[in-house]
Amino acid sequence: MPLLANTYALHFSLQYLTNRFLIRTPEDMQEIEALAAGLKAYTTWHTTSALQECRECCGGKGYLSENRIDSLKNDTEIYTTFEGDNTVLMQLVAKSRLTEFKKEFGNMNLFSILNYVAEKAKTSLTELNPIVIRNTEENHLLDPEFHLSSFLY
Ligand SMILES: Cc1cc2nc3c(=O)[nH]c(=O)nc-3n(C[C@H](O)[C@H](O)[C@H](O)COP(=O)(O)OP(=O)(O)OC[C@H]3O[C@@H](n4cnc5c(N)ncnc54)[C@H](O)[C@@H]3O)c2cc1C
């Protein structure tokens, strides 16, 4: 299920990226380039690991050509290298993120920077808060309202 959910999320992300590219302005290009680099690396790594998981889930039968996993693996695994090696593309993403951070911080005075850091720390603390108990009751987990709010989140 996590791999399938990831696949759907990546499908919609790629549609988003395509739309951003179609309505691009020159100012958007750096961000779109970083998005494309990151999504290319992430989706192709995801493809490789999802196919491996599928193969293992089917046991020895996953190795049989009639189940098609072998040809999908053959066709897709080189994608982590060509059209830009994934590691190198992720370096491009990191550089772009750092440039953005530098710009954001460049426009801030000391007070705004402290506020920004405090806001980030607050979010991390809320996420890590051991006092917040996750609700694992069956009724809650089967409630469509909960599914919808999780999906929106
Ligand atoms: C089937 C196929 C079709 C291709 N078609 C085309 C084509 O049509 N047009 C075209 O121009 N090219 C094409 N290529 C070339 C492709 O773009 C390159 O293979 C790809 O960019 C990777 O470069 P490389 O093979 O030199 O590997 P390298 O760059 O040598 O990578 C080898 C290893 O070194 C690592 N590495 C490299 N640089 C860094 C770095 N800065 N930091 C950390 N690690 C690093 C990589 O992560 C990888 O693990 C094709 C390749 C293949 C396999």
Provide the percentage of residues in the chain whose pLDDT is more than 90.
67
Per-residue pLDDT, averaged over 32-49, amounts to: 97
- Atom of ligand 1 minimally distant from the CA of 87: 47
Instruction: Pick 22 or 126 by higher pLDDT.
Output: 22
* pTM of this structure: 0.77
Mean pLDDT, the chain, integer = 90
**Out of 31, 53, 83, 104, which one is annotated catalytic?**
83
How far apart (Å, rounded) are the C-alpha atoms in residues 50 and 1?
A: 11
- Domains, the chain, in order of start with CATH, read 1-96 (1.20.140.10), 108-153 (no CATH)
Per-residue pLDDT tens over the stretch 84-141: 999 999 999 999 999 988 887 777 788 888 887 787 776 666 566 555 557 889 999 9
- Atom of ligand 1 minimally distant from the CA of 83: 17
**Short-list 87, 72, 81, 103, CA closest to 38:** 87
What percent of the residues of the chain are helix, what percent strand, and what percent coil, each to the nearest 5? 85, 0, 15
